[in-house]
Structure 1
Amino acid sequence: MDTDIILEMKSITKEFPGIKALDNVNLKVNRGEIHALCGENGAGKSTLMNVLSGVYPYGTYEGKVIYNGEECKFHNIKNSESKGIVIIYQELALSPYLSVAENIFMGNEQLAMKGVIDWDKTRVKAKEMLKKVGLENEDINVPLGSLGVGKQQLIEIAKALAKKVELLILDEPTASLNDKESSHLLDILRELKKQGITCIMISHKLNEISAIADSITVIRDGKSIETLVKGKDDISEERIIRGMVGREITNRYPKRKNCKIGDIIMEVKNWTVYHPDNANRKIINDVSFNVRSGEVVGLAGLMGAGRTELAMSIFGKSWGQKISGEIYIHGKKTTINNVKDAVDNGIAYTSEDRKNYGLVLIEDIKQNMTMAALRNYFSDKGVVDSNKEIIDSEEYKSKINIKANSINQTVGTLSGGNQQKVVLAKWMMTQPDILILDEPTRGIDVGAKYEIYCVINELAKSGKAIIVISSEMPEIIGTCDRVYAISDGEIAGELSKKDMSQVNIMKCIVNHSSNR
């Protein structure tokens, strides 16, 4: 390993009101390497990178940032970018309404005389940047919003390359990507490494970290714990987890004990849904399935299979048009035309996009927790019982172990795992019989995942019917009693617990696709 150090962060301490987010953290990154930062949600990874990039300016933290041998005192992102440090956040800083070329040079416009944008130069350079990330055949004039998330992530990297990046920081770059897109992005990072670009990667996907990282620094509770080096130390997933949580996790999926599977609570028959913008495009075709009391049923499938569309259309016809089919709850045919009907009939749905559809980020924990149940459980004749709101919010905060100063803390300041717990609490408060959990552990760490799985087990044990949608096959296999494989908007197969394996699920999907 090249011992030329491009970055050293010494004794970094950063405090917020009531909490020490970073406590004497040290980090060394070698030039030209891919360096991973691992840790549980709230460990301080993103805070450390915000110190480096100038989001938290010099003077708001203690310690030194030494880059290319000199101490840097960044006061904003522009300062760090001028030195070749570029950070790409999980929520991409792109405009869906601008063209690909405009996005690549947003904030870094190619100017001609008198400050006028040189569009010819912009287009030529945009093509050069796209070629570097494997998108040389992409139309630079189309609106960015017309492209998939995988391509948008690569365009964000192209945007960084246009700023003459030396140190590229990626925060959860593959969290929203499918396996194929993730693999392509990791290949791009390997190519950037060959070009001499140093990368710092924050990720909870430990299999990717083990595969691509040259060094791994583990942060726990705001402290730097250790740095593992490929070829010298054990960098297996189990070893990384031990560093992250401070203990061995022998079983990532807790067993459900004394959980009796009972009668069918919800049955969906011949469910068909058309695309909301195209009345001739059928997305869900004649789907039938059921879920029982105390049972966790998985919906497995590749990206674009129609799992989320199926769930949202069932949850008060939140997605689609020309929806047909029947829903039976406790054996009784039920009409559900909107979200209110769904909630009144005991159905809850947690969205895969918690920040846009699950939470109001500027409100506190209490308000987010109680909003879905406000009408039915926290008010009488239109008058809200504020005391009951506080008592129940405190109870759920404790019950599912939400790590926060109080129920009055703003949800936007919580880590991803704790935000997800608030979403779960919000819908648990509506006292549902059926919970549909769409990607319930996306973008959260292994420790927080384990806690979410424990919550799912408790809900099943209490007699709830749970539907889990997940892109992670091991999660489906580890948490579910039964699984339906979804392909092209249809049921490709049903597997019991004993028949459940990644191979068998993929066989169902592939065989169904080839027989269409």
Structure 2
Amino acid sequence: MTDDILRMRGITKTFPGVKALQDVNLSVRQGEIHAICGENGAGKSTLMKVLSGVYPHGTYEGEILFEGEPCRFADIRDSEHRGIVIIHQELALCPQLSIAENIFLGNEQASNGLIDWNRTNHEAAELLKRVGLHENPVTTISDIGVGKQQLVEIAKALSKRVRLLILDEPTAALNDEDSAHLLDLLRGLRDEGITCVIISHKLNEVIDIADSITILRDGRTIERLDMVTDHVTEGRIISGMVGRDLENRFPPHEPNIGEEVLRIEDWTVHSPAHRGRVVVSNASLTLRRGEIVGLAGLMGAGRTELAMSVFGRAYGTDISGRIYKDGRQIEIRSVQDAIRHGIAYATEDRKRYGLNLIEDIKRNVSAAALPKLARRGWVNDNEEYRVADEFRASMNIKAPSVLSVTGKLSGGNQQKVVLSKWIFTDPDVLILDEPTRGIDVGAKYEIYSIINRLADEGKAILVISSELPELLGLCDRIYALSAGRITGEVPREEATQEGLMQYMTKGLDEIR
């Protein structure tokens, strides 16, 4: 592992008004797992798009050497022909096609112009076995979970005889079990001589799996670290990423908790896909003004389903139970009802459900509360611009103007736009589902500060998170959910990861 398989020298990439990369250098040794770390907007994904030909030669400055030879990729097919394959954070799979069809899409196993389906399915089965996925190759992609879809993407890369595999946030949407399996697979590929470059915000995983790290900040290379000789810690990586030590991952906060705002009693929700299956069972919880309440649970426990069903019955069928707002029972039959009663919900999937990525910041911020900007049925464009610009300043959204396209923003800034949209509805209750998913530690701190500020303004906040340290560091009280049932309620001073995990797994053995 002494020879470099990849060298990128002096890479500079400019977009209109923004220098995304400036004189970036990257070296990766043959047969290692190399991590690239940096805050959102540091240039990590842009650098990998330059390498893989998404941004073709001529659109950037600098030099790429792969296996000692200069590379000038015109497109992604050029880079794949050399054995460089990138798996983006948003998986590039067609949900209506089978696993086998997806693996060989664009690389069909054909002779005389006809696809050989026996060969296709046989070779797909061999690739699935190699990545440890025990599924029938004819299974439709829409019928398997995200963790398995990630493995299909890797099998697809292996079908292209990959030599350098690039993975952008591969475990961001995975639970702990799927993440561990994926990391084990990457170790196995390394043992086979396949070099991997991984972009990740999960620093514990980076330390666990990487042989070396390159840290980017503001589009520049900060340093390259060897995991063995440089005695790398999470603190060392964070310091390089943000330019300062983050002694406390969570901003200090003294809660000022008031009276009860929202009470949910005996809430039961059935699955819309499987009639009769109970997803949430007799759940009861309360939220008070100025309080940040956490909701912990394993994947599939019913956390999101509970939140969405409360928010205007956006999920579920045969919903029963009672909702009280400020001590008075209310009926919420639609999302509009929920907004009118002062309840807002920021979804866990901001790209698909939280934002219109092809629209600008201004339109996204106003989307949930257009009537506030309308006069005689017409939206006041100047007022819409003013409101959005105020949020851009107060939320520290890093963009040239509110006319910037939302899809071009980093994940942390997109999340701030989502929060701005719902804050503009002036809610009393704000439900935040995975508010920091896919966001770096620096941007997380900003989001936590915003949440604390909203609580100080008297809003009741429910935070759903898969990260127990996040709930422990942020919340004043935590509920645990297991198999659709509330199994525990713990105040902040008594909460521990071990105790919450016991509540989160309570009753699972009975179900199994």
Give the TM-score of the pair, scaled to structure 1: 0.98
Task: Give the distance between the partners of 1:205 and 1:475, measured in 2 at CA.
Answer: 13
Does residue 121 (structure 1) correspond to residue 125 (structure 2)? The answer is no
Separation in 2 of the partners of 1:409 and 1:459? 26
Q: Would you say 1:331 and 2:330 are equivalent positions?
A: no
Tell me the residue number matched to 1:482: 477
Tell me the amino acid that sits aligned with residue 175 of structure 1: A
Q: Which runs of 5+ in 2 are unaligned?
A: none
Q: Which amino acid aligns with 1:428?
A: I
For 2:275, what is the secondary structure of its paired residue?
Answer: strand
The answer to which of 102-111 and 11-20 deviates more is: 102-111
Distance 2:63 2:4 in 1: 15
Q: Deviations over 1:24-72 (max 9, x none)?
A: 0000000000000000000000000000000100000000000011100
- Helix, strand or coil for the counterpart of 2:63? strand
Inter-partner Cα distance in structure 2 for 1:5 and 1:53:
17
1:511 shift after superposition: 3.2
Residue deviations 1:206-256 (CA, integer Å, cap 9, x gap): 000000000000000000000000111132111100000000000001121
1:469 to 451, 464, 474: 464
C-alpha separation in 1, matches of 2:10 and 2:506: 56
Residues 1:505 and 2:500 are matched in the alignment: yes
Is 1:412 matched up with 2:407? yes
Structure 2 length-normalised TM? 0.99
CA distance in 1, matches of 2:384, 2:117: 56
Deviations 1:309-363 (A, max 9, x none): 0000000000000101000001110000000000000000000000110000000
Q: Look up the equivalent residue of 1:42 and give its one-letter code.
A: G
What letter corresponds to residue 121 of structure 2 in structure 1? R
Q: Could you tell me how far apart the structure 2 residues matched to 1:507 and 1:498 are?
A: 17
Whichever residue aligns with residue 72 of structure 1, its letter is: C
Cross-structure match for 1:146: 143
Equivalent residue number for residue 74 of structure 2: 75
CA distance in 2, matches of 1:15, 1:501: 46
In structure 1, the residue corresponding to 2:239 is in which secondary structure? helix
- Alignment-derived partner of residue 200 in structure 1: 197
Query: Which AA in structure 1 matches 2:37?
Result: C
Separation in 1 of the partners of 2:295 and 2:495? 12
Match of 1:230 among 221, 227, 231: 227
Distance 2:510 2:69 in 1: 62
Q: Which amino acid aligns with 1:116?
A: L
Cross-structure match for 1:99: 98
Structure-2 separation of matches of 1:486 and 1:382:
44
1:178 to 2:178 alignment: no
Deviations 1:451-470 (A, max 9, x none): 00000000000000000000
Q: How many Å separate the matches in 2 of 1:94 and 1:354?
A: 19
Query: SS of the counterpart of 1:256?
Result: coil
Q: Any idea what the Cα deviations from partners look like across 1:136-171, whole Å, max 9, x if unmatched?
A: x31111111100100000010000000000000000
Q: In the alignment, does 2:457 pair up with 1:459?
A: no
Q: Is the 8 A contact 2:296 2:504 kept in 1?
A: no
Alignment of 1:301-450 (within 5 A): 301-375=297-371, 377-450=372-445
Q: Moved runs in structure 1, 4+ residues, more than 3 A?
A: none
CA distance, structure 2, for counterparts of residue 45 and residue 249 of structure 1: 21
Distance 1:63 1:481 in 2: 50
Give 1:380 deviation, angstroms.
Answer: 2.5
TM-superposition CA deviations, 1:399-422 (whole Å, max 9, x none): 111000110000010001100000
- Residue number among 235, 243, 250 corresponding to 1:253 in the alignment: 250
Query: Which residue is 1:267 aligned to?
Result: 263
* Counterpart for residue 44 of structure 2: 45
Q: Deviations over 1:416-463 (max 9, x none)?
A: 110000000000000000000000000010000000000000000000
Instruction: Give 1:128 deviation, angstroms.
Output: 1.1
Return the alpha-carbon distance in structure 2 between the equivalents of residues 95 and 510 of structure 1: 34
The gaps in structure 1 that reach 5 residues or longer are: none
Cross-structure match for 1:36: 35
Query: What letter corresponds to residue 176 of structure 1 in structure 2?
Result: A
Q: Aligned partner of 2:340: which letter?
A: D
Pair 1:66 & 2:65 matched = yes
Deviations 1:469-498 (A, max 9, x none): 000000011110000000000001111111
Superposed CA deviations along residues 99-141 of structure 1, whole A, max 9, x for unmatched, are 11111111111112x2211111111110111111111x31111
User: What residue number does 1:6 align with?
Assistant: 5
Distance 2:123 2:91 in 1: 21
- Give the Cα–Cα distance (whole angstroms) in 2 for the partners of residues 8 and 515 of structure 1: 54
Q: Secondary structure at the match of 2:204?
A: helix
RMSD, aligned α-carbons: 0.8
CA deviations 1:167-223 (Å, max 9, x no partner) are: 000000000000010000000000000000000000000000000000000000000
Q: Distance in 1 between matches of 2:157 and 2:199?
A: 17
1:514 Cα deviation from its structure 2 partner: 4.0
- Greater alpha carbon shift after TM alignment, 120-129 vs 297-306: 120-129
Separation in 1, partners of 2:237, 2:404? 31
Instruction: Provide the rounded CA distance (Å) in 1 between the counterparts of 2:228 and 2:279.
Output: 48
Q: CA deviation at 1:513?
A: 2.7
Report the Cα distance in structure 2 between the residues aligned to 1:86 and 1:398, rounded to whole angstroms.
39
Tell me the SS of whatever aligns to 2:322: strand
CA deviations 1:282-331 (Å, max 9, x no partner) are 11111000000000000000000000000000000000001010000011
Structure-1 residue corresponding to 2:88? 89
Q: Which moved more, 1:378-387 or 1:188-197?
A: 378-387
